[in-house]
Amino acid sequence: MAGQRGILVIGATGTIGRQVVAQALEAGAEVRAAARDPETAGLPGGAEVVRADLADPDSLRAPLDGAEAVFLLWPFATAEGMPALLDMIAAHARRVVYLSSAAVRDHERRIEGMIERSGLERTFLRPHAFAANTLRWAGQIRAEAVVREPYGAAAMPPLHERDLAAVAVRALTGDGHDGAAYELAGPETLTQAEQARVIGEVIGRPVRWEETSPRAARERMLERGWPPEAVDGVLRAQAGMVTSPRAATATVEEVTGVPARTFRAWVTDHADRFRTP
């Protein structure tokens, strides 16, 4: 990875990582993307896709060679394994952009502290709710034009993954972001019921919100294989946003110079996921 702007994207095949890869290439960076299965990664042709797996941190040693900056998505609910990975990153790169969260959960706080002590230039991204979270409703909407969930009055500013990636790429490729912790959100606060309504307006099929109990929702998520601690965390957060709505932020525009995309824009980009074939 010759040149001065080599970037390694860890978590490149996820919703956010794909956008980071694509936008970093558009910015003129040399991009190396880590994937468990490069043959099926489906990433843009300009990226060098390499085999690596966070479950085996040592597999990232070779991909780190020549990287100046690292986008780090850590999918585990623990900080175990992070010290060894940070040692490898610090031995090769000078900058890391870490995807944390607005909640800064315990393991995320620990990881942020480790990065701060690593000597690396660092930027923390702390997003609020992603617009893409509504994709969990897609099956219900396609089948019945209904969303059966609790806490329809929970209000949040849904964030487009493209906007988060745009901030990440600025931090990966430009100066002036060292030590920053960017709290990222969409430009408008909407209740979950309002989000369902917007989806219906975009796809041309009214979508009805049907309030259910938190207990029923918990059982459904557990049946889908969600870890119990994750289920309880999501439901607690939604309950909190009924009485204390999350506010929009202007951080995306402040960092990129471009206003954050609305939830309606996100739905337009993903409308086929909600339409009946």
Nearest to 178 by CA among 223, 119, 231: 119
Locate 200 and state its tokens. 């219906």
Residues 83-103 have a mean pLDDT of 95
Q: What pTM, to 2 d.p., does this model score? A: 0.93
Question: Do the beta carbons of residue 25 and residue 44 sit within 8 Å?
Answer: yes
- Amino acid (one-letter) located at 71: F
Indicate the pLDDT class of residue 5, thresholds 50, 70 and 90: low
Tens-place pLDDT, residues 108-159: 999 999 999 999 999 999 999 999 999 999 999 999 999 999 999 999 999 9
**Which residue ranges form the domains of the chain, and what is each CATH number?**
6-127 (3.40.50.720), 133-157+187-246+260-273 (3.90.25.10)
> Is it the case that residue 35 has pLDDT exceeding 80?
yes
Q: Is 188 exposed, middle or buried (0-12, 13-18, 19+ CB in 10 A)?
A: middle
Q: How far apart, in whole angstroms, are the C-alpha atoms of residue 124 and residue 180? A: 6
β-bridge partners, 198: none
Q: Tell me what pLDDT residue 4 has.
A: 41
β-bridge partners, 10: 34, 72
> Is it the case that residue 3 has pLDDT exceeding 50?
no
